[in-house]
A = this chain, B = another copy of it.
Amino acid sequence: MPATPKPFEIIEDGTLTSVAGIRATGLHCGVKRKRHDLALIYSAVPTVAAAAFTTNKVNGPSILVCKENLKTPDVRAIIVVSGNANTCTGKTGLENAREKVSLTAQNLGLKSDEVLVSSTGIIGRPLPMDQVRKGIGRAAKVILRWTEETSLDPSEHGHLAARAILTTDAYPKEIAVRVKLGRKTVTLAGICKGAGMIAPNMATMLCYMATDAAIAPRLLQPLLKDAVERSFNSISVDGDTSTSDTAVLLSNGLAGNAAMDAEGKDYARFRDALHFVTRFLAQQVVRDGEGATRLMEICVRGAASDVEAKRVGMTVASSLLWKCAVFGGDPNWGRIAAAVGRAPARVKQERLVVKIGNQTVFADDSPTDYNLKQAESHMQEQKIHVTIELGLGNGEWTVWGSDLSYDYVKLNAEYHT
């Protein structure tokens, strides 16, 4: 049988600016002491935008302003400040969020409702707006001179944006892929920062994606929602939820493909590429979680529904006892079974099967005669695999989690407000 053609291809050194018409840059304006702290993302042509936000009922004014501006889905720019979450800052916080938006719009010749805004970092402190204002002006200049500046390297500036949105992340998270749709090649890219949550920062998960693919506008939001559900909403570093989590996908159609419709082959290919991108970035977030030394992938099968499969997976991925076992490299399946049993999902103990790596360790309400050494050796790998079969239905879900190490406690206990 001939090899099936790769559905998509990873672009070497790819980032947001690998997408036609997408410009981005990052710089240091003075919110942080030294590191880059302001990113500006821009599309040279109109886009259709989709977005997903934190479900936390305590949230920052950026979320409110984004939701207002998304009432019309044309988004041309996103202004991101890192180092200060602009959350729990009362009326001033809302005013500052609006001013960042209007100033960005003004500098780029856009309308305010074409601009989104994010802020991540320390909470409860007012933004240093003087520095932010200057930073917006400088970033806008780079964006406006994009085609004139012959010395400007688009991917270098894309990488600057990816760095400027970080807070406690150890490294930037970015990826770009090419997908063949008919005779056209479209590009899809994303940058992301982690949800490590370090004191006193409420380290937000932020993800900005863009594509030059044309797609029926009504499809974009459900497509993003599903992709986020299966990636960023399926990971657990510590179970805490930030007040400002945001994921945005802009589509500007510059690739010239026939606009995708729900039923076509193109749509399926593009969806697979999007899931690859969001899952790649989500796993990067877990790997870079505070104190994380190991990534676990938990596949739940045979649940009564997908929703219940996800609940079981997330309960196991968030179990402190199991996370400690993963840190210690211990194939302690009893902790998996106990976490499965307390998940808000239908579970029948006598049908439960647990696998670590490719070995079944628990079935028929009893431990199997598994090879302990082999299980222990699997637990030493960088990515460990757990399979949970519930034997009740066709519900399936995959989640990713980090382990729980001394460093997590250290990072989160030693800071003083």
Q: Which residues of chain B are within 8 angstroms of A417 by Cβ–Cβ distance?
A: 330-333, 372
Query: Contact partner of A334 among B90, B123, B347, CB < 8 A?
Result: B123
**Could you tell me if A367 and B321 are in contact, using CB atoms closer than 8 angstroms?**
no
CB of A137 within 8 Å of the partner chain: no
Count residues on chain A whose CB falls below 8 Å from chain B CBs: 67
Near B by CB (< 8 A), chain A positions 300-332 give 318-321, 324-325, 327-332
Contacts of A200 in B (CB 8 A): 330, 332, 334-335
Q: How far is the CA of A201 from the CA of B338 in the complex (A)?
A: 11
Q: Is the CB of A341 within 8 A of B58?
A: yes
Contact A202 B406 (CB under 8 A): no
Q: Is B321 within 8 A of A412, CB to CB?
A: yes
CB-nearest residue of chain B to A85 = B334
- Check A352 against B58 for contact (C-beta < 8 Å): yes
Stretch at the interface among A220-228, A239-247, A262-270: A239-247
- Is A257 an interface position by the 8 A CB rule? no
CB distance from A287 to the nearest CB of B (A): 18
Bound CA span A415–B332, Å = 9
Closest chain B residue, CB of each to CB of A329: B416
* Cross-chain contact of A409 among B56, B59, B324, B339 (Cβ < 8 A): B324
What separation, in Å, do the CA atoms of A328 and B416 have in the docked complex?
8
Task: Establish whether residues B328 and A243, one from each chain, have CB atoms under 8 Å apart when the complex forms.
Answer: no
Contact present for A367 and B320 (CB under 8 Å): no
Is A340 part of the contact surface with B, judged by Cβ < 8 Å?
A: yes
Say whether A366 contacts B335, CB under 8 Å. no
Q: Flag whether A107 is at the interface (Cβ < 8 A).
A: no
CB pair B409 A338 closer than 8 Å: no
Partner of A340, one of B58, B197, B331: B58
B241 contacts A56, C-beta separation under 8 Å: no
Closest B-chain residue to A339, C-beta based? Answer: B240
Measured CB to CB, the closest approach of chain B to A63, in angstroms, equals 11
Is the Cβ of A330 less than 8 Å from the Cβ of B367?
Answer: no
Tell me, in angstroms, the Cα distance from A320 to B57 when the chains sit together.
Answer: 19
Taken together as a complex, chains A and B put the C-alpha atoms of A372 and B417 apart, in Å, by 9
State how many copies of this chain the complex holds: 2
Are B330 and A239 interface neighbours, CB within 8 A?
A: no
Task: State the Cβ distance, A308 to closest chain B Cβ, in Å.
Answer: 12
The interface residues of chain B lying within 8 Å CB-to-CB of A347 are 57-58
Q: How far is the CA of A376 from the CA of B87 in the complex (A)?
A: 22
| Shortest Cβ gap from A342 to chain B (Å) | 4
* Given known contacts A320-B238, A332-B417, A367-B124, A243 and B338 CB-to-CB distance under 8 angstroms: yes
Neighbour of A341 across the interface among B59, B329, B342, CB < 8 A: B59
Could you say which residues of chain B place their CB within 8 Å of the CB of A340?
A: 57-58
Known: A199-B335, A327-B409. A320 touches B320 (CB 8 A): yes
Query: Which residues of chain B are near A87, meaning CB under 8 Å?
Result: 334
Taken together as a complex, chains A and B put the C-alpha atoms of A327 and B346 apart, in Å, by 36
Q: A349 interface residue, CB < 8 Å from B?
A: yes
What's the Cα separation between A241 and B200 when bound, in Å? 29
B406 and A409: CB pair below 8 A? yes
Q: How many angstroms from the CA of A327 to the CA of B414 in the assembled complex?
A: 9
16 further A-B contacts with Cβ under 8 Å, apart from A56-B338, A199-B321, A200-B334, are: A57-B340, A58-B347, A59-B341, A87-B334, A88-B366, A123-B337, A199-B325, A199-B328, A239-B318, A240-B319, A240-B320, A320-B408, A324-B413, A330-B416, A330-B417, A409-B409
Instruction: Please name 21 pairs of A and B residues whose Cβ atoms are closer than 8 Å in the assembled complex, sorted by A.
Output: A57-B348, A58-B347, A58-B349, A59-B349, A87-B334, A88-B334, A89-B365, A199-B330, A202-B334, A202-B335, A238-B321, A239-B239, A239-B318, A240-B319, A240-B339, A320-B412, A321-B412, A327-B413, A333-B417, A376-B416, A409-B409
| A residues in contact (CB < 8 Å) with B | 55-59, 87-90, 93, 123-124, 197, 199-200, 202, 238-243, 318-321, 324-325, 327-335, 337-342, 346-349, 352, 362, 364-367, 372, 376, 404-406, 408-410, 412-417
